[in-house]
Amino acid sequence: MFELHHLSAQEQWDWLQRGEISPVELTRHYLDRIERLDEHLGAFVTVTPEAAIERAASLAARVPKTAPLWGLPLGDKDLVNRAGVRTGYGSRLMQDFVPERSDAIVEVLDAAGAVSLGKTSAPEFGLPSYTESLVAPPARTPWNTALGAGGSSGGAAVAVAAGLLPFAPGSDGGGSVRIPAAACGLVGLKPSRGLVPSGTGLSSLGGLVVPGPLARTVADAAMLLDALIEGGDYPFTVRAPRWDGGALLNAAVRGEGRFQLGVMTTSPWDDAYDIEIAPEASAALALAVSELDAIGHGIEDFALEPDDSYAPNFCTIWQAGAASIPAEGEQLELLEPLTKWLVLRGRQVSARELSSALGALVEFERSIIRQFRRFDAVITPSLAMTPRPVGWYDAEDAERNFAQQVQYTPFTSFANVTGLPAITLPVSQTADDVPMGVQLVGRPGGEHVLLAIGAQLERRLQWQRRHPPQW
């Protein structure tokens, strides 16, 4: 039986434009699905049905109908402030915080005509690559609810994969859009540093964190990213030279071009941790490479130059970034062990150590861009393992926990350090129907190439037709 969530986000927007459905009808459809299905999924930590219906009912008077996301439901990640709605940051420390002002990305999405249904689940302060916290149920991939959805945009990924939202914004500081997208069988895109005005990345330590879309199709991801780029001012940066209004959606819909691709299974973590690529991850990579070769792309195996500086310097930045979490004295006991470890370690980092780590990562960025120069994009596994069981990560031993995260996600963080665009694509499923994907890392400002390649793979593999049981 046909239901509204069976339409792509683009199709839903078209129906809204033609008046075949109203924003209120679409909002109620998704709210009903959240009420029926989310108890066993953990996508949302807060649902705001009254505010959503009121927003949808008055949308025509507030926002021009031609706005790029007019009438489409979304969720705000629970690390993002929306005025008057509790923002818990996945932490007992912030469980009663209700912001008075909205963050810039919320204002951009509202101006684009989106309708927020509430807050999607995130781990404590977005630090882990899995979405399991002490304040909310774990976010579970809809494909197998014994397995975690990844993080830190885990709730957003679950909501999109299970048909509780048409698509969703997330944020990515070390893979936090791409990891849950891979675990939930979605397209997840981390844009170039500086591309999205409401989240340039320049305000985060090391320029790591940027917002990006999670979607079921490449074109839907491009549609949401275009809206994020179009909204807001550019106080720190300039528009990407290849972007013009709607240009990324055009690239995703057309899916044109033949490119030179590097195939990489090495990672910057290899010298510090025992990284093993699971057979399922290797099979997904092999399938994608075979299809890309058949399309006519140039394919070349590629290995990173050894560099033992990445792991310690990234750890320093990750710890230093946690140092500003507002917990003092007894409040530290409200933090989870991993967060507390990062905070305490971060507060021990000296200015000299921090400056040295930042400088070394700038040199790493230059090295990666030089090594990737001969390719239009480099393809890697999205994850080194299949999605991890809920409870798999060590909840008490923080150092072991961090090592587990690295071993699961060794290919994602370097794209944040270098500021390069990266997209994960859901190319295959295991024998147990668990999704597995590949990641493409592009040149600075090269989102259009990643989307074009993604569209070509999508046409051949038809992953948009695969859905979990809740569909």
pLDDT at 201: 87
Question: 286: alpha, beta or left, given left = phi > 0 and alpha = psi -120 to 50?
Answer: alpha
pLDDT at position 232 is: 59
Quick: pLDDT tens for 87-133.
999 999 999 999 999 999 999 999 999 999 999 999 999 999 999 99
- Structure confidence by residue, pLDDT tens digits, 17-61: 999 999 999 999 999 999 999 999 999 999 999 999 999 999 999
DSSP H or E run through 426: strand 422-429
Between CA 184 and CA 15, with CA 246 as vertex, the angle to 5 degrees is 70
CA atoms of 448 and 246, how far apart (whole Å): 11
* Residue type, position 31, single letter: L
Distance CA 430, CA 270 (A): 25
Task: Determine the Cα–Cα distance for residues 462 and 455; give it in Å rounded to an integer.
Answer: 10
- Closest by CA to 81, choosing from 122, 41, 52, is 122
The catalytic residues are 77, 152, 176
Q: Residue 236's pLDDT is what?
A: 47
Residue 202's pLDDT is what? 84
The partner residues of 210 in beta bridges, in order of sequence, read 172
User: What are the chain's domains?
Assistant: 4-465 (3.90.1300.10)
- Residue 344 CB burial class (10 angstroms; 0-12, 13-18, ≥19): middle
Please, what sign has the CA dihedral across residues 88, 89, 92, 94? negative
Q: How confident is the model at residue 244 (pLDDT cuts 50, 70, 90)?
A: low
CB of 369 closer than 8 Å to CB of 361: no
> Taking all residues of the chain, what is their mean pLDDT, rounded to a whole number?
96
Query: Is residue 443 within 8 Å of residue 449, measured between CB atoms?
Result: yes
Q: Regarding beta strands 210-215 and 187-190, do their DSSP bridges make them parallel or antiparallel, or are they unpaired?
A: antiparallel
The answer to whether the beta carbons of residues 27 and 73 sit under 8 Å apart is: yes
Which of 194, 207, 206 is closest to 356 using CA atoms? Answer: 206
pLDDT tens by residue, 148-204: 999 999 999 999 999 999 999 999 999 999 999 999 999 999 999 999 999 998 889
Greatest Cα pair distance in the chain: 62
In whole angstroms, give the CA distance from residue 164 to residue 145. 16
Of the candidates 19, 30, 34, the residue with the CA atom closest to the CA atom of residue 142? 34
Sign of the C-alpha dihedral, residues 247, 253, 258, 262?
positive
Instruction: Look at residue 234 in the predicted model and tell me its pLDDT.
Output: 53
Strand intervals (E) in 44-149: 44-47, 73-77, 115-120
Q: For 454-461, what is the mean pLDDT? A: 98
197-211, 327-341, 382-396, 409-423: which has the minimum mean pLDDT?
197-211
pLDDT cut 90: percent of the chain above it:
95
Q: What is the pLDDT of residue 241?
A: 43
CA distance 251 to 257: 10
Question: CA of 67: how far to CAs of 63, 81, 348, in Å?
Answer: 7, 22, 48
Give, as one character, the DSSP assignment of residue 299: E
- Whether 191 and 178 have beta carbons less than 8 Å apart is answered as no
Q: Are 418 and 128 in contact (CB under 8 A)?
A: no
- The answer to whether the Cα torsion of 51, 52, 53, 59 is positive or negative is positive
